[in-house]
Chains A and B, each alone.
Chain A
């Protein structure tokens, strides 16, 4: 198998990181294969992911897969960097999935969240709530 190249490219960075983790907790007990056909102008770049009971292996092969996902490169870059939500992209027609949508649904669990999300928010006082709402 040809070694996976690391570069500044977010797509290969994403897949290389996935392969390096080897075992992804959220995939525990799950098995599926996915192929990503990423269109870049005329060229199509392929990444093949095999998940076996939570263990992840990545190749550049054009093998068959449970789910074949087709998408333009800029959109896929946005997805793997958390700037575009995969489910929204699917509804919008930015990506297509041939075969098992269950495999795609599982896979999206390893995608990152939006870059600006902190998980934090400042508290709101009772007085502030009451100022906006009518009293009883």
Chain B
């Protein structure tokens, strides 16, 4: 068999199989049919006369649909195949599979076609950590279907398997004894439905499942409509058109509907393991996509407000006003063995929620949503002062209260060694990382704007502005590393600066907390040899003790990070510097055929020539998918100004002429044009 895994999905249901379409999961092997964070099929193997099949080719028709061309036998035996098999599969609330067997001979053939099916009903967390199950399995055979089940107390999940042609069904699968006429064909349709018991009633699309392909036609139409509604891009540099189209298609695949808003979509964090709401990822992706589609932002804001924290819950790290980190639906969450119902351990999502709300209003003029979410935004702003200031020193910091299954690092760089001193020492907890202060500052400034303009509460606006100014003043003195001329990545509980040089400085520009007099030094670092690799800004600067060009948050280049850094550079008027980031990341995207990975190696560009992919299970990932969109915004200098959209391009020379047509917003639709004039090669000395 091949190592290539094929994955298709719709919403939070997805199938990972081998290139034959077969699923043979082991406890730790991540293939299967998954829905609501549970594996509903761990075995799904097709045989013809007891023989496994071999793939001739596999076509990903759409992100929710794949076709497998197969022949019986393995290895080289199939050269003379007298039979071929075509499996076509599409995901809905489970999946639908057409199997066609073609006889290429002049004589009829008798065949035993069998599907072996089984399920371990593993929670996604169990798949990752290989944990043992606590409930009982059952299999039930009826005339027309096989029902695989799992039950633990009142928790029940079932997989329903049925076929359109008569089959002999046993508790391990379905068997068809058929005669295929000369040059004829036999076919059947298999239906696999993932049933979540109590949750089924909420899944609106379930009703469409047996409606003869209605589901997939709707999906295909949805994708078409999505692409048609996005602004049109035309450009002299062809790769950019490919990158743009790839982004839009991947973003469509990453759309996810919650149980409470079935008709609306928000961006899930990544495919396939993170097809769920993540506060931080959904917000960043919505921000990146705002100039292209505002629906993702609106749904994200509503979905996060709906589940905003309202109480003190140490297990979930929940506080009143806090915006969630991650939501899960699997067995471990159901039995409170994991805190994801939802889990709130994120120190940035709450401030970013207010940032997104304001940015959304600036683009769309949708005051109604801002009014509707007034209470949620006020509660979020209150959280920053009331619950996030763990040390009482006026800075946002984090420390998990759930010490077993909570998250240690609650900022976007969430790995254990991401926050360190120059010498590699790790700080204690609570930790006040610098970008959190930037987000809090921006939330206050933007909250003040909304309070004055839309909530008609000038007293709140005045207070927020005063607090923001005070925070900015203190921050620029407390976090500024004098001998390095940049901002420390964090403050220790005792006020000591965690003094390594990191990409977080770029986020500080984005949030506006950097005093003008310090901005040039920060920009110089971002484009300087220690941080800038030639492709983009490294997470941690070369020369720091923990620097590693293939370390997750300690040296790799993250496209998402860079897109916000570019926006930050623009904010402070460093147009040419922003263009350098745009050029580097877009050229990397070209190498990755339009789909940027989560991260790639921080090696010097002149050394490796090609960006080296960081191995990760998740692709596409939402905020990497959104990165080129935000970079386009930064390159064209798109900025809402009242009811107008300001266009102030600073494009890398290579891009040449660029048109972005029909940019939607409160101005209805506006076209943006630019011509590449910035010699980014010269600036970055390549």
Binding site for B on A (CB under 8 A): 25-26, 28-29, 54, 82, 85, 87-88, 90-98, 100-102, 105-106, 109-114, 116-121, 123-130, 133, 135-136
Contact = CB atoms under 8 A, between A and B. Distances in A.
Contact of B426 (A92, A96, A120, A130): A130
B260 A29 contact: no
Contact of A94 (B154, B416, B428, B430): B154
Contact of B202 (A29, A97, A112, A114): A97
* Contact size range, B: 35 or more
B369 to A, nearest CB: 11
A114 B313 contact: yes
Contact of B428 (A92, A95, A113, A125): A125
B429 interface: yes
B261 interface: yes
A91 B341 contact: yes
11 contacts: A88-B335, A92-B335, A97-B201, A105-B307, A117-B312, A119-B387, A123-B428, A123-B429, A126-B427, A133-B417, A136-B424
Contacts of A130: 425-426
Given A105-B306, A126-B427, A121 B312 contact: no
Given A29-B375, A130-B425, A123 B430 contact: yes
B168 interface: no
Given A96-B198, A102-B260, A28 B428 contact: no
A136 B341 contact: no
A26 to B, nearest CB: 5
Interface string B288-300: 0000000000000
Contacts of B546: 136
Nearest to B400: A121
B319 A110 contact: no
Q: Which 10 A-B pairs have the closest CB atoms?
A: A136-B424, A113-B311, A91-B334, A28-B375, A102-B260, A93-B154, A136-B545, A126-B428, A87-B341, A113-B313
A136 B423 contact: yes
Nearest to A125: B428
B492 A93 contact: no
B497 interface: no
A93 to B, nearest CB: 4
B399 A123 contact: yes
A126 B425 contact: yes
B201 A110 contact: no
B342 A106 contact: no
Nearest to A91: B334
Given A29-B374, A91-B199, A117-B315, A101 B423 contact: no
A77 B240 CA distance: 58
Given A82-B311, A123-B493, 10 more contacts: A26-B375, A91-B333, A93-B154, A96-B198, A101-B259, A102-B306, A109-B310, A110-B310, A133-B416, A136-B420
Contacts of B260: 100-102, 105
Nearest to A92: B334
Contacts of B311: 82, 111-113, 117
Contact of B315 (A87, A102, A114): A114
Contacts of B316: 85
Interface in B316-342: 316, 318-319, 329-330, 333-336, 341-342
A113 B379 contact: no
Residue of A91, A94, A97, A121 contacting most chain B CB atoms (<10 Å):
A91
B214 interface: no
B372 interface: yes
B155 interface: yes
A124 B334 contact: no
Contacts of B403: 121
A110 B199 CA distance: 22
A120 B402 CA distance: 11
B153 interface: yes
A54 B372 CA distance: 12
